[in-house]
Amino acid sequence: MTSMTTEELEQAFRAHATELRSFLHRQLRNPEIAADLTQETYLRLLLQPPRKPVLNLRGFIFKIARNLAIDHARSRHTREYLDEGIAYLYEVTGESPALFDVVVAQQDLSAMAHALNRLPVQCQQIFTLCRLRNLPHKEVALQLQVSISTVEKQLAIALDFLSQCLQR
């Protein structure tokens, strides 16, 4: 048996993307996070395709999305727990959280800028236009004279790369 082609996976994802986003929106009650996790599902599907043909691609795609939603809920709980701990630390030590937040934000921005500069130019442009300037994929594709599919793939690559760089 051979693995599934990128085209087959993309076609399956496109066929269920709207339903998938609705599913994630119902689970998370947040349209922005649902959209982000829908994009992350697409990314995972393309970067880690099934090794064997899958009989129920819809189920496979929804399983990826469900696992991402669970991971998101876990990380949100962990962040809330850490935020409470930091707030208590500030209260006990009398330190101002503002200075700490500024330093962390500056470090995060520096790490993001460094990681962004390591991406290929087209990937950088697509990420900047889509995520920092909030342009629709269609408009980015027209502006850069590439297909919408290229925009989606390059954005997925950029998001995955930046995510990996910032987790280190």
Pair 73, 30: CB distance under 8 Å? no
Residue finishing a domain among 95, 114, 135: 95
Spatial distance between the Cα atoms of 110 and 115, rounded to a whole number of angstroms: 9
Question: Count of alpha carbons within 13 Å of 41, Cβ hemisphere only?
Answer: 34
Domain count, the chain: 2
Instruction: Give yes or no: residues 87 and 18 share one domain.
Output: yes
Pair 137, 148: CB distance under 8 Å? yes
Instruction: Give yes or no: residues 82 and 20 share one domain.
Output: yes
Q: Residue holding tokens 């997925």?
A: 156
135 contacts: CB under 8 Å, gap ≥ 6? 129, 143
Residue finishing a domain among 95, 119, 151: 95
CATH number for the domain including 135? 1.10.10.10
E strand intervals along the chain: none
Model pTM score: 0.48
Instruction: Please give the chain's pLDDT, 168 residues, in tens.
Output: 456 788 888 898 999 999 999 999 988 888 888 999 999 999 988 888 888 878 888 989 999 999 888 888 777 666 665 566 666 656 665 555 566 676 677 777 788 888 888 889 999 999 889 888 888 999 999 999 999 999 999 999 998 888 887 775
**Domain residue limits at 125:** 96-168
Instruction: Give yes or no: residues 89 and 165 share one domain.
Output: no
Residue finishing a domain among 33, 64, 95: 95
